[in-house]
Amino acid sequence: MAGDKADVLMIEPLMALVVDGVDRNFALHRYWEAPDRDALIARLAPRLRAIVAGGTTHQKVSADLMRSLPHLELISSFGVGYDHVDVKWAAQHGIVVTNTPDVLTEEVADTALGLLLCTVRQLSQAERYLRAGKWRDGDFPLSKATLRDRTVGIIGLGRIGRAIARRLDGFGVPVVYHGRNPQAGVAYRYYPSLLDMAHDVDTLLVVTPGGAGTRAMINAAVLTALGPRGILINMSRGSTVDDAALIDALRTGQILSAGLDVYAHEPNVPAELLAMDHVTLLPHVGSASVHTRSAMGQLVIDNLVAWAAGRPPLTPVPETPVPGARGR
């Protein structure tokens, strides 16, 4: 009976696998469907201990929401990024936040390489050229860029960053990286200064987490340092890039091009970027295969099931560690 199951609040609609899995194992409450959300929270407050959150930034799990649920213990979030959750407040109040790492690493790394190749070699533009019937009038112009003479600076050499670097090794492309700290066991050169790395490379590939600490880190100074041969690839969060600075740099030729899979106000994309034919734009499809999204969804459920059974959640985020949790 539903009354025997733990109550779980789902903040926004997720794939059917997650909704069905949570509904099968728990008493599911759909926050986004509630005609009066405040009334729903008030009714659940005396007993609700778990939330399922989406991997988007559309619906925040704020301190105010968590504060209104005094028995909250777990937030199981879909996606590797979790900047839609006030994780600092959660950690301070003993609330564990989980995400879905590892299962999407290779898929996102594949997409990053695809976006890089499309941007450098103008493959999307070449396809549009053919579909428009222009090939009959002449060959598509030679691409201005190539991977053959480039060095890629990766911003954020975590799981996904290292998977991208391995792929670039296979392409014979030199890799360096920037992050908060040097990574143990990697041979790539580490730059403590992002600006210094931007001066020394011609391609920046961003896979750092979102949040306040990385907001607008790709700013006018970094783009100026990257220079007129520069290419920016963003696979992280749209918030990591200063949109106005990027648009200006692309418009004036301060950098050569950009390839973007993420945007600050998804699904809205700046009209200035849409109007530029020398950039490559994807609709946040980094992990968007049935195989990988299904694995991510199952991990959301598995974290909830482990917690409900009195076991440590499988993949707590570093800010909210749990003794005995599975090593990541």
Sequential DSSP letters for 52-73: EE-SSSSS-B-HHHHHT-TT--
Residue 31 token pair: 């926050």
CA 213 to chain centre: 15
Question: What pLDDT score was predicted for residue 247?
Answer: 98
**Looking at 6-15, 165-174, 315-324, which range is the least confident one?**
315-324
> 132-170: per-residue pLDDT in tens?
999 999 999 999 999 999 999 999 999 999 999 999 999
> Is pLDDT above 90 for 18?
yes
Confidence of residue 58 (pLDDT cuts 50, 70, 90): low
The DSSP element (H or E) to which 35 belongs, if any, is: none
The answer, yes or no, to whether residue 262 has pLDDT greater than 70, is yes
Q: Are 28 and 10 in contact (CB under 8 A)?
A: yes
Rounded to 10°, the helix 16-25/290-308 angle is 20
Catalytic center residues: 237, 266, 284
Asked if the peptide bond before residue 321 counts as cis, ω within 30 degrees of 0, the response is no
Residue 327: pLDDT over 60: no
Q: Which residue has the tokens 């937030």?
A: 75
- pLDDT for the residue 3: 55
Which burial class, exposed, middle or buried, applies to 192 when counting CB atoms under 10 A from its CB (0-12, 13-18, 19+)? exposed
Beta bridge partners of 180: none
Q: Residue 198: what pLDDT? A: 98
Whole-model pTM: value is 0.91
Query: Residue 323: is the preceding peptide bond cis (ω within 30°)?
Result: no
Distance (Å, rounded) from C-alpha 101 to C-alpha 80? 5
Average pLDDT over residues 234-252: 97
Rounded Cα distance between 210 and 212, Å, is: 7
Percentage of the chain beyond pLDDT 70 is 96
Rounded CA gap, 124 and 251, in Å?
Answer: 19
What's 236's DSSP letter? Answer: S
Residue 106 amino acid letter? E
Read off the pLDDT of residues 182-218 as tens digits, 9 standing for 90 and up. Answer: 999 999 999 999 999 999 999 999 999 988 899 999 9
- pLDDT band of residue 59 (cuts 50, 70, 90) is confident
